[in-house]
């Protein structure tokens, strides 16, 4: 059964969602992300994806206090990303309660440091963030495009020991038009050993069912939940 991972994206301490990673499209859904996390936990979900969007667009973690508050007031297993640029940032994320850290930009810009973290913390705690626009990995809060094609990028890090990867098709993210099933199918075929976490475009329960039938191990979703297209009650059938 596919693992369900609701997302809480944070700007200025508030729960927001963007469209295609564009900060100008930010819409606030809750002034208090902890309330959202508690509601998620109350319906039996165990995993939460928290993104510090302020951190992703800057040079360091910004909203670590929100992470700390969620971790200290729920028993959710939290993976945290956004703004992790150096050893201090990663230490802050883990000290504030994240069980896993999602690393994207640094895996492109400082691969040796990334591999050092992978060796130090292990593949259960370090998740590779592979967010792509038109097949190219994007970095720096999705503002910039690298030269890396997504499949070779994933193959390279799979050969180095990465086990978990969050893959977002940026053009679908926040658009509620369905996930990038062709991309995920190609990854599953090429790298079946990876724990692929699909992200971006989820618009309905049927989208999640489709990914489940494809054999995708886990899925992240946010806007569909906040817009009422998916309810937490409906998701209980997957638990």
Q: Which residues contact 83 (CB under 8 A, 6 or more apart)?
A: 52, 54, 55, 56, 58, 59, 60, 61, 62, 89
Residue 179 to residue 184: CA distance in whole angstroms:
9
Which positions ≥6 away from 22 have C-beta within 8 Å?
A: none
The structure tokens listed for 129 are 């963030």
Q: Are 45 and 4 in contact (CB under 8 A)?
A: yes
Give catalytic residue positions. 9, 131
CA distance 155 to 81: 21
CA dist 58 and 235 (Å) reads 34
């Amino acid at each position: 059964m596919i693992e369900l991972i609701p997302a809480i994206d944070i700007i200025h301490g508030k729960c927001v969602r963007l469209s295609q990673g564009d900060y100008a499209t930010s819409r606030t859904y809750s002034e208090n992300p902890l309330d959202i996390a508690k509601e998620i936990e109350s319906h039996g979900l165990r995993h939460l994806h928290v993104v510090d969007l302020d951190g992703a667009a800057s040079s360091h973690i910004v909203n670590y206090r929100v992470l700390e508050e969620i971790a200290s007031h729920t028993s959710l297993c939290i993976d945290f990303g956004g703004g992790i640029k150096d050893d201090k940032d990663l230490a802050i994320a883990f000290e504030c309660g994240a069980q896993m850290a999602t690393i994207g930009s640094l895996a492109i810009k400082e691969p040796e440091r990334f591999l050092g973290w992978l060796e130090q913390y292990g593949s259960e705690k370090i998740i590779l963030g592979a967010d792509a626009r038109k097949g190219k990995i994007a970095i720096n809060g999705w503002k910039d495009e690298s030269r890396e094609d997504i499949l070779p990028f994933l193959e390279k890090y799979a050969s180095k020991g990465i086990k978990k990867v969050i893959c977002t098709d940026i053009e679908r993210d926040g658009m509620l038009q369905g996930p990038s099933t062709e991309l995920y199918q190609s990854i599953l075929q090429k790298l079946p050993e990876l724990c692929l976490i699909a992200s971006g475009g989820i618009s309905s329960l049927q989208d999640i069912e489709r990914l489940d039938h494809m054999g995708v191990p886990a899925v992240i979703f946010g806007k569909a939940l906040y817009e009422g297209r998916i309810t937490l009650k409906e998701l209980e059938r997957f638990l």
